[in-house]
Structure 1
Amino acid sequence: MTQHEKQPEKNGVKIDCDVYRQEFSVKFEHPVHFTRGLFSRENPLFADVINRLGEGKRHRVLVYIDSGVADKHPGLIGDIRGYFHDRPETLELVGTPEIIPGGEEAKNDWEVVRDIMTNIGNHHLCRHSYIVGIGGGSVLDAVGFAASLVHRGMRMVRVPTTVLAQNDAGVGVKTGMNEHGMKNFLGSFAPPFAVINDFNFLSTLDDTNWRSGIAEAFKVAIIKDSEFFDWLCRNAAALRKRDGNAMEILVRRTAILHLDHIRTSGDAFEFGSARPLDFGHWSAHKLEGMSGYSIGHGQAVSIGIALDSFYAMKQNLITESDLKRILNSLLESGLPIWSDLIEEKTPEGELKILDGLDQFREHLGGVLTVTLPDKIGEKIEVHHMNVDIIEEGVRNLKKLNMGTIDHEDTI
């Protein structure tokens, strides 16, 4: 829609100025697939995804693989080559799949992004070629960021390989790089062409990466789905013990809750100040940076959930019983509720973690907006955080971390 407006006369003086106001929307399709054995030669899904638009041509595809995934799946490159070899009419594998560092190293190193962009240019890939990222959330962020810059946006297919990537980081519409001492200081909104979750990758995760994504499940359940929260509490021990069936249920439900929010919130690109899916994240992002990213995102989010849930209880938004269930279930899942870093103080005696509130506000834009649970399964946004209550929460979490919270104790 275009509106043409001319400025009226002011004080009898005709102003030579007019404006054409533009309003338009852009449709994005964002399919998220679930499968097993993605590059098994008999599995048609990958080829079907690439051919989704029915363009009737041979598609050029450049593949990047997380180094940790390549180590755990030494036959993966051969499987990819074989898959493409069987489909020469529709798929062209550009060069050899590239291995890039996994974990936060990928998001901390500009050279990773620069190398990807240079490689795309050296292979003369066009804007309708495909970049495929196979790995954890950090690798998908780095590869996706590079793909969003070249030709102002190429077709990106994400193949998440961790729990956290399959249920959260890999299914969203953002990319990010760490810079200026802050998590995701740089990034872009770039919905992927498609996401393909292959459950077979989860079986080779170490315990830390297996459990990391459980925190994001608790995060979204606490503020959006009380029945899912109840399920998580009942299955916390099974999840810690690597029950594959339970984990697949968790991944699907968590991913769907994230996707539903992106689709229905009316703010997929986060132009507003509220960001409900970042419950527990203001302190988590700060904690990651303080640790030099030795604390993983899921572990930091678990601590952030614990801290903000304590705050919510003190504000009478959730009950003490709710808080105990949250903390007990996080611990039973194998997740932390404490790190010594959260009690570190500045020379002036203030908790260093509190700087995360200012960084969070800058990242959101506008006024500080922190999402808290308003009873389990619902949420509320607040625009002020009481420092005294946060400090009390830190002291209490330190005590509670000594062991499982007894339901008879008063927090």
Structure 2
Amino acid sequence: MNKIIEQTFSVPFRYQVCFTESVFGEGNPFLAQLLKAEKKPKAFFVIDSGVADAHPALVNAIKAYAKTYEDSFILCAEPLILPGGEISKNDETSFKKVVDATHIHGIDRHSYIIAIGGGAVLDMVGFAAAISHRGVRHIRIPTTVLSQNDSGMGVKNGINAYGKKNYLGTFAPPFAVINDSEFLKTLEDRDWRSGMSEAIKVALIKDEDFFCWMEKHVEQLSAREMEPMKTLIIRCAQMHLDHIAGKDPFESGSSRPLDFGHWAAHKMEHLSGYRIRHGEAVAIGIGLDTTYSYLKGMITHKELIRVVTLIKSLGFALYVPELNGEALLKGLGEFREHLGGELTITLLEKIGRGVEVHEMDNNLILKAIDQLKAFHQETLVEN
């Protein structure tokens, strides 16, 4: 006898993205209020080493904050400082230290693991939290432009394996994301700039007005003016939350519009040994897919020049030696595999509107690479 018993159910998620300044200032009760519960929870902090170096008083500030608000939560151990950047996802040592800490310090599903750092550390800690006790509550405190406006916003966690980015991972929304603008002030110029590529991305595929706003404020953003950057981050965060609330937040299908420009970016990062920052690679990937869209007859030359001009004006390169045709085409195959066999790439049909395609012309990709190299070397003029 064949028999199937079936039930359909849904699970609601409450996802808070919060904005504050000096989150560990003793006069700022925001985090303590967020953690406070009937049973006082444990909190365990994991800190990106780059953040710890840039903010040498951070560990003591966390300890002082925990003392001030000891009625709200228990600091269950010394904060754990781990290497930042892609090494935190490439080397399983960091990941294992977080999982080990859940065992050593009795961190359970009513506790919090709070990660402070860039997107790579947030990805790694989020994965460790998601698989410990089948899910320890996780709070992200992103400290870079890239993580505050993009990677820290999503529901994805992971580490790299088998030479592939995010091969091991989970879909697990954090309990909350806290964006503290004070962390941005100590960023290197390269990291300040890097995160803006993701803003270009969401503007190109979702919001023409936002793209125009970026064109208008390009000088202030490049000059590190904080108010325009806060506006950019909040606007990106809102669009990411709107996307997460859509029909496929856990990417059960092959549609991944927020990966516009990413299929090439991931391969370039790997080929460079992660010398190229993620945001830098994404900027080039956006340039490549925009140029491909133009060569395919989907957008006008004027639109193409507006896009590559904005990318260059923000200080990004449009070409690197890793933009190698043969290796890149292999990366396209790997991206297809990552999606489950059917290729889905987002291209542009106009600024502010992305469209999905299921095949790419290899010869046209190679022509787009050549055109992007020329753009990199020349002054751009609209026709």
Is the TM-score greater than 0.5?
A: yes
2:176 & 2:21 partners in 1: Cα distance? 16
**2:350 corresponds to which residue?**
375
For the pair 1:35 / 2:16, whether they are aligned, the reply is: no
Contact 2:101–2:107 under 8 Å retained in 1: no
1:107 & 1:400 partners in 2: Cα distance? 33
For the pair 1:261 / 2:243, whether they are aligned, the reply is: yes
Letter in 2 for 1:144: G
Give the aligned CA root-mean-square deviation in angstroms. 1.0
Structure 1 stretches of 4+ with a deviation exceeding 6 A read none
1:95 & 1:21 partners in 2: Cα distance? 45
For the pair 1:333 / 2:314, whether they are aligned, the reply is: yes
Letter in 2 for 1:178: N
Q: CA deviation at 1:84?
A: 0.8
**1:12 corresponds to which residue?**
none
Is the partner of 1:18 in helix, strand or coil? coil
Contact 1:318–1:375 under 8 Å retained in 2: yes
Contact 1:282–1:360 under 8 Å retained in 2: yes
**1:311 corresponds to which residue?**
292
Q: CA deviation at 1:404?
A: 3.0
Q: Deviations over 1:95-146 (max 9, x none)?
A: 1111000110101111111111111101111111100000000010111111
| Bigger Rg, structure 1 or 2 | 1
Contact 1:160–1:196 under 8 Å retained in 2: yes
Is the partner of 2:5 in helix, strand or coil? strand
Is the partner of 1:183 in helix, strand or coil? strand
For the pair 1:280 / 2:265, whether they are aligned, the reply is: no
Q: Deviations over 1:220-255 (max 9, x none)?
A: 100000000001112222212211111111111111
Is the partner of 1:330 in helix, strand or coil? helix
Is the partner of 1:20 in helix, strand or coil? coil
2:311 & 2:55 partners in 1: Cα distance? 30
Q: Deviations over 1:67-93 (max 9, x none)?
A: 010011111111111111012222110
Q: CA deviation at 1:57?
A: 2.0
2:321 & 2:220 partners in 1: Cα distance? 28
What does 1:114-153 align with in structure 2 at a 5 Å threshold?
A: 114-153=96-135
1:122 & 1:330 partners in 2: Cα distance? 47
Q: CA deviation at 1:279?
A: 0.2
**1:65 corresponds to which residue?**
47
Larger mean Cα displacement after TM superposition, 18-27 or 212-221: 18-27
**1:18 corresponds to which residue?**
3
1:246 & 1:285 partners in 2: Cα distance? 28
Is the partner of 1:131 in helix, strand or coil? strand
**1:49 corresponds to which residue?**
34
Is the partner of 1:248 in helix, strand or coil? helix
Is the partner of 2:368 in helix, strand or coil? helix
**1:160 corresponds to which residue?**
142
Is the partner of 1:19 in helix, strand or coil? coil
Contact 1:57–1:89 under 8 Å retained in 2: no
For the pair 1:171 / 2:170, whether they are aligned, the reply is: no
2:13 & 2:358 partners in 1: Cα distance? 32
Q: CA deviation at 1:367?
A: 0.9
Contact 1:331–1:404 under 8 Å retained in 2: no
**2:381 corresponds to which residue?**
406
1:332 & 1:243 partners in 2: Cα distance? 15
Aligned partner of 1:384 among 359, 365, 383? 359
1:57 & 1:124 partners in 2: Cα distance? 15
Task: Point out where structure 1 has 5 or more consecutive residues left out of the alignment.
Answer: 1-15, 346-350
**1:360 corresponds to which residue?**
335
What does 1:73-222 align with in structure 2 at a 5 Å threshold?
A: 73-222=55-204
Larger mean Cα displacement after TM superposition, 359-368 or 198-207: 359-368
Normalization by structure 1: what TM-score?
0.92
Q: Deviations over 1:41-90 (max 9, x none)?
A: 11111012213xxx312110000110010011111111111111012222
Larger mean Cα displacement after TM superposition, 64-73 or 310-319: 310-319
Normalization by structure 2: what TM-score?
0.98
2:217 & 2:320 partners in 1: Cα distance? 25
Q: CA deviation at 1:198?
A: 0.2
Q: CA deviation at 1:167?
A: 0.4
Q: CA deviation at 1:316?
A: 2.1
**1:302 corresponds to which residue?**
283
Is the partner of 1:372 in helix, strand or coil? strand
Letter in 1 for 2:62: I
**1:3 corresponds to which residue?**
none
Larger mean Cα displacement after TM superposition, 316-325 or 397-406: 397-406
**1:397 corresponds to which residue?**
372
Equivalent residues, number = 383
Q: CA deviation at 1:397?
A: 1.0
Is the partner of 1:58 in helix, strand or coil? coil
Contact 1:66–1:102 under 8 Å retained in 2: yes
Q: Deviations over 1:318-348 (max 9, x none)?
A: 11101101001101001121111113x5xxx
1:230 & 1:151 partners in 2: Cα distance? 46
